[in-house]
Structure 1
Amino acid sequence: MSFKSKLKNLDYVHISRGCYAISIALTIIGVICLSIFGLNYSVDFKAGSNVDISLTETVTKEQIEPILQELGIAEGTHVTPGADRITIRFTKVLDEDQDHQLKNEILKLDSEASFEVNTVDPEMARELARNAMLAVLWSCLGIIVYVSIRFEWRFAVAAVVSLLHDAFMVVALFSIFRLEVDLTFIIAVLTIIGYSINDTIVIFDRIRENLRFSKLKTREDLITIVNKSVSQTIMRSLYTALTVFIAALFLLLLGGASIKMFSLAMVIGLLFGAYSSIFIASPLWFVLKSRQKNKPAKAS
């Protein structure tokens, strides 16, 4: 039997029980890590200065650190070297004199170096973090309203649980491995939500179509509908996810440092998105729908 045939004959509702256990375990681990470690925010979300230096000559981290010590700005500083650039992140905002002195010292090492300085004050950092959370919440609310109108509330609940699962898994992994969270990360999370809901809606639309031509009498009839609908759309979902995954992977491997976290978040999110659309969203709708079927009819 071919791989494609095996996928079409799987009992997705039964397999989802194990997937729920895995997702719950990962969620608990993620909550614990977020509670203990939090997120490793970039300068975009906390006060400080970020200095990007484009180089024409070789300048090492070891050459930069003594300069920072001499200028008295080494405390809480993180230096990230690259092939033709160095990024220096300060937890405090550099004043005009410190900025000028730093540039002069770097120019002694590379006279053609160019600088890009990004500074975020505490109020701006708080506002960016607040707006990022609001963007995710408003997008989820919009999806709930749209799916409830277009389908029914059970589809909406299952879809939102699925996409929040994907977003949280990415956030949790960034917390566990202390990866930097910047504005491009938020863009990646919103993009992941978009791809996740797209795959989920495709499966839900097939479930709705199959429901029109089926007479549901037992719980097993619902299981058959869900398994049939997922098997009919699974290759389309996998091909879509794989196509975007390949693009995101090459962006991660070959792209610049400025989009590295965006690409990594996309790679992780696309994997979880394909997984949740198949093994979380549709089986969760089945659970909600089966409870309705099991309710006793009201007396007329």
Structure 2
Amino acid sequence: MRFETNIRYDFVNNRKKYFMFSTILIIIGILSLLIFQLNLGIDFKSGTTMDSVAERSVQQEEVIAVLDELGYSEVPTVGGTNNDRISIRFGEELSNEQTRDIQTAFKTAFGEETSFEINVVSADLARELAIKTIWAILAASLLIMLYVMIRFEWRFAVSANIAILYDCFVVVALFSIFRLEVDLPFIAAVLTTLGYSINDKIVIFDRIRENLRFNPAKNEKQLVELVNASIWQTMARNLYTVLTVLIVTVFIFLFGSESIRLFSLAILIGLISGAYSTICIASPLWFEFKKREKKKKPTGGPVRQPDQPIV
């Protein structure tokens, strides 16, 4: 079997290295989640967010000083065109009296026309959001698996689903390890990762299926060559697709506002992980399933019984 493709690196025969690296990362992620858990924002735990617009430009140190006088240790975010926007997230549900005290102190320090927007998340609402988020990710992965199974076959579906769940877990694990805040935009980023990741895998699986149709592999060596050729035939397309989104995401992360910085970082991690898992996990996993199937098949020809004479 020969393909008109320059196979510059053998991904399939080096699959155990990638499986080992991915397994180690999963173990580290699980340990981090068990020990440190996730740094949940108030979207997933009770708390209060206060966004205000001051009459003048303010410095972060000024806001910290006002909060310190009131007995709060939260670190505010100051931004906006004129540095007049203040965003504070409190780890508790503030009472009406506490809210009024903060508003009075802010108006005294930053002007009487300072405006406020306050959002309170109760513990019940936070718990409900967390449960719905888990169900959303599970439902999305299940529907993707069914789609791939209908369009291709179960081996492609299982390989793709393992790979995309790995991508999602990598994002969650890294946010846990580096103690980055998890909020609703983070969940949107994880679901976006699912979409981009399955797109890459569909492209390469379609090429594998096409190559199998015109060049059926008769043994394991030919199957290795087929999968490697399929990877390199789609390599440019997958990399260009990922790089296009990656460049935009990097610029959003570097120059975007604080409110979407972690969202763009989560997508950035998901894109890199998705490109890696498509080549180094999904395709080799399919090869493992297909190889086992070929080993189970009989080699062909009638099987002679022990007492049957040889003609």
TM-score normalised by structure 2 residue count: 0.89
Query: How far is 1:36 from its partner?
Result: 0.3
Q: Deviations over 1:224-247 (max 9, x none)?
A: 110111111010000000000011
Paired with 2:192 and 2:55, the residues of 1 have a C-alpha distance of 35
- With over 3 angstroms needed to count, the CA separation of the structure-2 counterparts of 1:297 and 1:56, relative to structure 1, is farther
**Aligned pairs (5 A) from 1:1-300:** 8-72=7-71, 74=72, 77-82=74-79, 84=83, 85-111=85-111, 112-297=113-298
Q: Deviations over 1:138-185 (max 9, x none)?
A: 000001111111111110110011111111111111001100001000
> Secondary structure of 1:216's match?
coil
> Secondary structure of 1:44's match?
coil
Letter in 1 for 2:122: D
CA RMSD of aligned residues (A): 2.0
Paired with 2:182 and 2:170, the residues of 1 have a C-alpha distance of 14
> Secondary structure of 2:12's match?
helix
Letter in 2 for 1:161: I
User: What is the total number of aligned residue pairs between the two structures?
Assistant: 293
Contact 2:15/2:281 (8 A) holds in 1: yes
Point out the more displaced range, 194-203 or 88-97. 88-97
Which protein is richer in helix relative to its size?
Answer: 1
> Secondary structure of 1:118's match?
strand
Paired with 1:215 and 1:281, the residues of 2 have a C-alpha distance of 20
Paired with 1:231 and 1:296, the residues of 2 have a C-alpha distance of 29
Query: How far is 1:78 from its partner?
Result: 4.0
Paired with 1:9 and 1:104, the residues of 2 have a C-alpha distance of 67
Paired with 1:37 and 1:87, the residues of 2 have a C-alpha distance of 26
Query: How far is 1:68 from its partner?
Result: 3.3
- With over 3 angstroms needed to count, the CA separation of the structure-2 counterparts of 1:200 and 1:227, relative to structure 1, is same
- With over 3 angstroms needed to count, the CA separation of the structure-2 counterparts of 1:240 and 1:102, relative to structure 1, is same
Contact 1:48/1:120 (8 A) holds in 2: yes
Contact 2:64/2:75 (8 A) holds in 1: no
Query: How far is 1:220 from its partner?
Result: 0.8
Query: How far is 1:57 from its partner?
Result: 3.0
Paired with 1:177 and 1:58, the residues of 2 have a C-alpha distance of 32
Contact 2:239/2:275 (8 A) holds in 1: yes
Tell me which residue corresponds to 2:307: none
TM-score normalised by structure 1 residue count: 0.92
Query: How far is 1:65 from its partner?
Result: 3.8
Letter in 1 for 2:119: N
Query: How far is 1:100 from its partner?
Result: 1.8
Please list every run of at least 4 consecutive aligned residues from structure 1 whose deviation after the TM superposition is greater than 6 angstroms. none
Point out the more displaced range, 230-239 or 81-90. 81-90
Structure 1 residue ranges without an equivalent (≥5): none
Q: Deviations over 1:49-79 (max 9, x none)?
A: 011233453434443345335445x26x343
> Secondary structure of 2:13's match?
helix
Letter in 2 for 1:27: I
Contact 2:217/2:226 (8 A) holds in 1: no
Query: How far is 1:98 from its partner?
Result: 1.5
Paired with 1:252 and 1:179, the residues of 2 have a C-alpha distance of 14
Paired with 2:20 and 2:31, the residues of 1 have a C-alpha distance of 17
Query: How far is 1:94 from its partner?
Result: 1.1
